[in-house]
Amino acid sequence: MALKVGMLTSGGDAQGLNSTMRGVSRALWNDDPETKIFGFLNGYYGLMHSSYRHMHDYDFSGILTLGGTILGTSRQPFKIVNDPLYDDQPEGITRLEAMIQTYNDLSLDALVVLGGGGTQKTANLLSLGGCNIIHLPKTIDNDLSGTDLTFGFQSAVNIATEVIDGIHTTATSHGRVFIVELMGNRVGWLALHAGVASGADVILIPEIPYNPIKVVQALQVREKEKKRFSIIAIAEGAKSIEEVNMDEDELKEYRKNTHSVAYHLQNQLEELMIQEIRVCVPGHFQRGGTPSAFDRILTTKLGVEAANAVIEGDFGKMIGVAGQKMIRVPLQEIAGNTKRVSLDDPVILAARKMGVFFGD
C-alpha cells in the first residue's frame, strides 16, 4: 500500500526549505509514484488545525532556487505538554493532542518536519506521542546538536559576508569604525564565519564575553598602525563581561536605551574613543533570498536521506551531517541541546593567528 507522508516547515524561515522538500518528495515518488504527500500550512499551526493541501509533483517543480517556504511557516511555542490551545479549539485538548489527532485522523505513515531547535523539541514530543517523525535541521544559526551543519547556515554566511564586504569601501573612505550586527540567536557561528570570510578586524560572539576597554585598545592599535578603518562583526547574542551574568530582565534594563547589541556597543565605544563609529544591521535580509549552491546540494542530500528513512521505517530521527556523510540521530538524544562555538574551534584558532581580536 502506498505511503501517506506529511510535511511541514516550522519556526523562522531560511534558505533551503523548498529545496529540501523537493528532495524528500522526489525521492519518495521515485520509490513509489503512488505515495501521497500532505503539506501542512504554516507549520505546526496547520497540524493543530488540520490545515493542509495534497501535494503533487508540479508543486515541487522550479523551487530548487526559491527562498522561503511554499507551505508557509509560523512559531507555535508551548513550554509544557498541557499548554492549552487557542480559544477556537475544543475545551480540554492540548496543542500536542491536537497535532497527534490530526496525524491519526489522516492515517499518516510518517511526518517530515523541517525546522530549528524549538521545532525539534516539538518533533520529539510528537515522536514520544506515537507519531513516526523525521526531523530535518534548518536554521541559519547552525546551533543544532548532532549535526555538523544545518541548512540555511551557509547561505546566510554568504549574505553576511557580502554585507561586510560592501561596508569595507565606505569604512575606508571615511576612516570610520563600522559595527555590523549579525544574526545567530544565542550562538556565534554566523558572526564567526562571516567575520573571518570578510576580513573583520574584531569578532564578538556570545561564547566569548567581550571587554569594551580591550576592544577600544585593539582599535587604537590599528589607528596607530595607520589603518584608516576597522570592522567589528558582532553576533546579536554577544555580551560584555559586565552583562554575562545578568538575567534577561537585568540585561533588558541595562540596554533599555539602545535598539540592539550593536548600538549598545557603539555607545560603549563612543565614551572611550574619538573615531567615528557607525552601525549596520542587515537583519532578516540574512535569511532571505535564494539558497547558495552549497545549500542546494546539502538540502538535496538531506531530503533524499529523509525519504530513505521514511521508506525504511527508521523514525524518531534527525537527519544530520557528519563530515561528508548523512547520519540519523535519535531525537531523544539531542532535542533541546544547543551546539555552541567551542573556544578551540579551528576557525577561532586560525583567526587569532591572523590577528583577529575577539574582545577578550
Catalytic residues: 141
DSSP 263-274: HHHHHHHHTT--
Contact 113, 135 (CB under 8 A): yes
DSSP 36-86: EEEEETTTHHHHHTT-EEEE-GGGGTT-TT--S-TT-------SSTT-B--
Query: Amino acid letter at 280?
Result: C
Task: List Cα–Cα distances, 198 to 152, 164, 167, 239, 243, in angstroms.
Answer: 18, 6, 10, 22, 28
Rounded Cα distance between 227 and 223, Å, is 5
Rounded Cα distance between 206 and 251, Å, is 14
Rounded Cα distance between 239 and 212, Å, is 10
